[in-house]
Amino acid sequence: MKTQDYIKMLTEFEPAAIRFLPNIVWASADGYYVTDTDGKKRVDFCSGAMIANSGHNNKAIINAIKKQLDTGVYTTYLFPNIPRCELLSLFSTLIPPNYLTALFNTGAEAVESAVKIARVYAYKVLKNKGTVISFNNSYHGRLIGSTAISGTESIKYWIPMPVQEALSIQVPFPSCPYESKPHNFNDFLNSIHEKNIDVKDIAAVIIEPYQGSSCAFLPRDFSEELRQWCDRHKILIISDEVQSGMGRTGKLWGYEHLGITPDLIVAGKGLSACLPISAVSARKDLFDLCEPGNFNSTHSGNPICSSAAIANIHYMLDHKLVENAEKMGILLNESLMKIKNKYPWFIGHVLGKGLAYAILIDINYKHLLKALLDRCIKNGVLLIGGGFAGTTIKIVPPLIIDATGIKKGCEIIEKSVQEIIEENNLGDKSHVSEKNL
Ligand code: PMP
């Protein structure tokens, strides 16, 4: 069967609501390449969806899964299994001392579990309403709770306002690329005040070290002030590292760029680099507030997923993938800046660190985002597009990528930008003054 046949099946049996990118049906993938059902091979600049940090079809991970399969297929969250024990022991070396970890399946499930811990803490220790503060344009998942605490307005319309407000309020993100000036910490405090939230009713602030929709990082000075303020008021910081964790930003955890240690860390996506598994790590005293059985989830600690995560962590450490992400990130930044400098009126921003980058096309050309994304994909590089303003093209390759892969993918992006500019007669706007750009 060819791609069109599969697409026909999809459109017949699957709601379009679960797809948002051009329909490329994957047949196989290896390293940082993906081959579709028509045999076309493309550079993968999206790592699946920030998942395949150790590369697709990673032999070490596959062997670990096979070895686990050889013991038979069984799963139970009611009783522990060997890989679950071993993964928790290994994972403890990646997180602050005296933090415990609970395993889950998806990012949204782990985010909601972290929020639940914060609310148990609010109920039992702070004895307050347990409000969670998050940032405008943040993304924490698609379930009711995780959508309610996400700051992306367009995904929240289906949840009644009282449900959202009972859980969480949003404040401006300090360094939004589309706002004329950054927000400082006083603006943060004022926004909370304007929303009639008493500091005494807050349980936690949930952060993403960088916002997935633009790759804009939370500024370090803001984060440090936030940490001090939270400490003063006994408010928790949850770092949602579902996307920024496991080496993506050139550090193991995104919060390392911010100069703070969060009280809770949420991991997912790149944890096993292939199979569904997520985790919440939190200070032991916080987990100790929760009763046995509080976090049951049928497939959590699944032995096959846990084996994959163990092999992935060893692979990442043995092959220094975090360091590679930092090194390749410098090259990626240079290549993307070259494209921006060539077409400064078309590309408004290049943001990111490590292998988490985004180009934001100028808001005036937002209507061309889809055409550009389609063209990049047609020309041979897989990318994620969209973002809260509909202007983002995200570049998040597997952390095993080398200079050849970065060069190849970026050349395709450059060629695609050039084609779209020419076809739409955008011409050379270098005469447009900086002020008007
Ligand atoms: N948090 C962040 C920061 C994410 O990027 C995502 C997924 N894109 C999630 C949570 C939700 O993860 P999942 O899709 O596995 O539920």
Task: Please give the CATH topology (third level) of the domain spanning 3-54+320-436.
Answer: Aspartate Aminotransferase, domain 1 (3.90.1150)
Instruction: Work out the angle at residue 251's Cα, subtended by the Cα atoms of residues 248 and 255, and round it to the nearest 5 degrees.
Output: 95
Let me know how many helices (H) and strands (E) the chain has, helices first.
14, 15
pLDDT in the model for residue 435 = 43
* 208 Cα nearest atom in ligand 1: 3
What residue owns the CA closest to ligand 1's atom 10? 140
- Residues in Cβ contact with 39 at an 8 Å cutoff, skipping those fewer than 6 apart: 27
Kindly state if the Cβ of 111 falls inside 6 Å of ligand 1. yes
Listing DSSP states for 379-396 in one string gives HTEE-EEETTTT-EEEE-
What residue has token string 């940090």?
A: 53
Cα of 360 from ligand 1 centre, angstroms: 21
pLDDT exceeds 50 at position 434: no
Fold of 61-318: Aspartate Aminotransferase; domain 2 (3.40.640)
Distance (angstroms) between ligand 1 centre and the Cα of 152 equals 13
Ligand 1 near 141 CB (within 6 A): yes
Q: Which residue shows structure tokens 């609501």? A: 17
Query: Sheet holding 41-44: strands in order across?
Result: 26-30, 33-36, 41-44, 381-382
Mutate to test the pocket of ligand 1, among 18, 21, 46, 111 (most ligand atoms within 8 A of CB): 111
pLDDT in tens, 322-359: 999 999 999 999 999 999 999 999 999 999 999 999 99
pLDDT tops 70 at residue 436:
no
Collect all residues with Cβ–Cβ distance below 8 Å to 333 and sequence separation of at least 6: 350, 352, 357
Indicate if 61-318 has the same CATH topology as 3-54+320-436.
Answer: no
Give yes or no for residue 239 CB within 6 A of ligand 1: no
> Where does the pLDDT of residue 437 fall: very low under 50, low under 70, confident under 90, or very high at 90 and above?
very low
How many CB atoms sit inside 10 A of residue 72's CB?
7
Compute the distance from residue 269 Cα to the ligand 1 centre, in Å: 7
pLDDT, average across residues 96-112: 98
Distance (Å, whole) CA 358 – CA 407: 16
Largest Cα span, the chain: 68
The closest of 315, 320, 324 to 63, measured between CA atoms, is 315
Domain spans of the chain?
Answer: 3-54+320-436, 61-318
Mutate to test the pocket of ligand 1, among 20, 50, 53, 140 (most ligand atoms within 8 A of CB): 140
pLDDT value at position 163? 87
pLDDT of residue 22: 80
The rounded percent of the chain whose pLDDT value lies above 70 is 98
pLDDT digits (tens, 9 = 90+) for 38-64: 999 999 999 999 999 999 999 999 999
225 lines ligand 1 (CB under 6 A): no
Counting from 1 in the atom list of ligand 1, the atom nearest the Cα of 141 is 11
Tell me, what DSSP letter sits at residue 151?
-
pLDDT at 426: 87
Summarize pLDDT for 281-308 with one digit per residue, the tens: 999 999 999 999 889 899 999 999 999 9
The residue to which tokens 């405008």 are assigned: 136
The CB of 348 under 6 Å from ligand 1? The reply is no
Alpha helices for 195-298 (secondary structure H): 220-233, 284-287
Q: What is the mean pLDDT of residues 371-382?
A: 97
User: From ligand 1's centre to the CA of 240, what distance in Å?
Assistant: 8
